Structure 1
Amino acid sequence: MNISALACSAILIAGCGNAPEKTGQVQAVDTSALAHVQASMTRVDREIELDGIVEAVNRATVSAQTSGQIESLPFDVGDVVPAGSVIARITDTQQQAGVNAARAQLQEAKARFNEANQQLKRIEEVFAKGAVSQAEFDQVKAAQQSAAARVDSAQAALNDAVQRLDYTIVVAPYSGIVVRRLVDVGATVAPGTPLLEGIALDNLRVRVNVPQQYIAPLRSHRQARVVTDAGQSIAAAQLRIPPSADVQSQSFAVLAELPAQQEAGLLPGTLVKVAFAIGSGEQIILPDSAIARRGEITGVYVDEKGVLSFRYVRTGTTLGDGTTVILAGLSDGQQVISDPVAAANVYKQQRVAISQ
């Protein structure tokens, strides 16, 4: 324990006796060097705090889109995967053969089309001179059109074969982390076989079961903030409130979406507190740094014309801007020392002169 903490503890013990201090018995000291903050009534949101579970908005199971054997799985459970990274390779022998066959069929179809096209050009010249009948001309023209259609069909077959070959390399649809590996290297897969399950950590939300009596003010205010274990407050980007409640619990599964790229270190599946605004009112607020907390003792140092006194306070909600609501123990307009450690050192300079 450092010297400042020892000093504060000693002062708290001295200031927490059963007999209240009398201003006339305490010698005033110079408090001009201490930073002060005035306790003033401020309009703040009235909130309720409920437990919520963090979950990922983007959670997907990547499945195979072609047949073959798993050749490699570069990532395992817990690995961070950048978007576009190869997460699985499937043997491509059958797919490569399909591409080669489709390419050969396309070349054959093009050759037949060229032949039919040349034949059409020759008969057009003869037809123009009236040397062949209309029926013969129509027959050659139909053959040329049929050959052109076979080229289109062969090209579509080649495109499909190339796509099947591309499916042998599976890439991550977005940046995230692998949470489940559903196949092993060497396993035979078919279209639809699940391979890996992953989640994106840059797009999270919190699911909260809200009792029905709070839904009306929630719909009216639509404000919430997520409070982490470390005390960090994150304003929800959006609230999604379902139109109906769960039949069994009579609660609403409200989703509080977190801002993208939040840096609080939240992970899916963890428990957090969510503070929902349900109204507003006038309350005293103080900076967190001005409140002294020693075990179960919570108080502040009040300056009354150079005389310091330690006041027990009852605190309420910790707000997102580094301030805390004071429910009891302070009055509007009182001067509070911003630094409790510095106040404790000055407090020791006061000498109580008890009259006989």
Structure 2
Amino acid sequence: MPNLPKQAIAVASIIGLSIVVAVILFALRPAPEQQDVEQHSLIIDVAIATKQALTINVSSQGTVQPRTETSLVTEVSGQVMDVSPKFENGGLVEQGEVLLRIDDRNYRAELKRAEAAVATAHSNLLQEKGRAAVAKEDLRKYPRRHASKEARALALRLPQLNEAKARLNSALADRRQAKINLDRTQIKAPYRGLIKMRQVDLGQFVSTGTPVGQMFSVDTAEVRLPVPTDRLAYLELPNNSQDDTYPRVILENDIGDRWPAEVVRSEGVLDERSRVLFVVARVNDPYRLENPGKPLLNGSFVKADIEGRKIDGLIAVPRHILRTGNQLWVVDDKQTLRNRDIKALRTEGKLVYVYEGLEEGDRICLSSVPSAISGTPVKVNSSMSTAELVKPQSESGMATFTELSSVQ
């Protein structure tokens, strides 16, 4: 074995000595000082669980549409001779108001001819009645005992008399139709409403069936509101046997304006794609022509808060305290936090309505404690009833239904 150089032997000696010193120091190290860590209690706010009979409202949204919308078309042909100043886009017209007039000279002449035909037919009928009376008298003086029934009818001029009556009835019908055609030269508003569109102008020739405009009624408007199937149990929808019960609705646009409405019917069929049921809310006087307030324009997109039915035994808690898996913190008798599994109604908004998992008098933690675990000690800073949480919810956002009644 070759001799190791002196330098390598010195390095190995130093390393070995260092290891020995490190082992001795580790063996002689002092024991770590033990200190008791004081566990601080979390300061929280709690709500005392109180079961209530609560009205569960359902949120929806939709577009305002007129209840009645009509396309105006001509029933006669001719040249447009006059157009009402109100027959413009957005013009308000009353029921029966004349919107435009079509040249009626031909129809007046047709009415004159029909009246002359009626006079002629009436004269012919009177003549036939006279001839029939003379024939009847002749037959009385000179009876024909062996004549057939048909021969006696001819002798009494009954066929000629019936023909004269038929001609008179036909002439009367022609006169009646001529009057109708003359009236149709005036296009009148079928109801009170707003003009949506005008499609003809002065001097234009129109034929039968030409569209001249569109209008819609202003007495009521409707909004189709989709309601998911799992929310239908919260509503009392109107039906044929209970027509007087109309759930009230508050409609609100993007800038916070509100209008009262009522759910008057449901469409009765689930949408095949979205699996929702459309209910129809009706708004009276949407353009506020009879009552003060801002108009609800057709085509507006609105949010809807539909009044639901009352459900007993509910506890309202803030939605933000609900944790993953439908759990929340409650405070036990030892002033520590405990997990509680709950079941709640599927609703929207700032509150969750618990129907299972909480008992009357349970103390529910309202504070955010992200680092807490089950058994964490707490101190209660303030407490309130869960019934007090419902009041701010109804006062903010949409108006309450009590306010709705006062508005109407």
TM-score interval, smaller chain: 0.5 to 0.7
DSSP-derived class of the 2:136 partner = helix
Matches within 5 A, 1:7-22: none
Max radius of gyration: which structure? 2
DSSP-derived class of the 1:150 partner = helix
Cα RMSD of the aligned pairs, angstroms, is 3.1
Residues 321-353 of structure 1: per-residue CA shift (max 9 Å, x gap): 349xxxxxxxxxxxxxxxxxxxxxxxxxxxxxx
Kindly indicate whether the alpha-carbon contact (under 8 Å) linking 1:214 and 1:278 is maintained by their aligned counterparts in 2.
Answer: no
Matches within 5 A, 1:283-302: none
Equivalent in the alignment of 1:79? 91
Q: Distance in 1 between matches of 2:390 and 2:76?
A: 67
DSSP-derived class of the 1:160 partner = helix
TM-score scaled to structure 1, two decimals?
0.64
Deviation at 1:96, TM superposition (A): 1.4
**2:76 equivalent to 1:66:** yes
Q: Distance in 1 between matches of 2:164 and 2:309?
A: 75
DSSP-derived class of the 1:143 partner = helix
CA distance 1:283–1:258, change in 2 (3 Å)? farther
Deviation at 1:55, TM superposition (A): 1.1
CA distance 1:110–1:312, change in 2 (3 Å)? closer
**2:260 equivalent to 1:234:** yes
Matches within 5 A, 1:303-322: 315-317=392-394, 318=398, 319-322=400-403
Comparing 108-117 and 242-251, the one that deviates more: 242-251
Matches within 5 A, 1:31-180: 43-74=53-84, 75-130=87-142, 135=151, 138-139=154-155, 140-180=157-197
CA distance 1:165–1:316, change in 2 (3 Å)? same
Deviation at 1:93, TM superposition (A): 2.0
Matches within 5 A, 1:154-233: 154-219=171-236, 223-229=247-253, 230-233=256-259
TM-score scaled to structure 2, two decimals?
0.57
State the aligned residue count: 258
Deviation at 1:123, TM superposition (A): 1.4
Q: Distance in 2 between matches of 1:313 and 1:145?
A: 83
Residue segments in structure 1 that go unaligned for 5+ positions in a row: 1-19, 21-39, 285-310, 324-356
Q: Distance in 2 between matches of 1:47 and 1:200?
A: 30
Q: Distance in 1 between matches of 2:133 and 2:199?
A: 60
Deviation at 1:50, TM superposition (A): 1.7
Kindly indicate whether the alpha-carbon contact (under 8 Å) linking 2:93 and 2:194 is maintained by their aligned counterparts in 1.
Answer: yes
Deviation at 1:102, TM superposition (A): 1.1
Kindly indicate whether the alpha-carbon contact (under 8 Å) linking 2:235 and 2:309 is maintained by their aligned counterparts in 1.
Answer: no
Kindly indicate whether the alpha-carbon contact (under 8 Å) linking 2:78 and 2:207 is maintained by their aligned counterparts in 1.
Answer: yes
CA distance 1:49–1:137, change in 2 (3 Å)? closer
Residues 83-118 of structure 1: per-residue CA shift (max 9 Å, x gap): 110011111122112111111111111121121111
Kindly indicate whether the alpha-carbon contact (under 8 Å) linking 2:64 and 2:223 is maintained by their aligned counterparts in 1.
Answer: yes
Residue segments in structure 2 that go unaligned for 5+ positions in a row: 1-42, 44-49, 239-245, 317-387
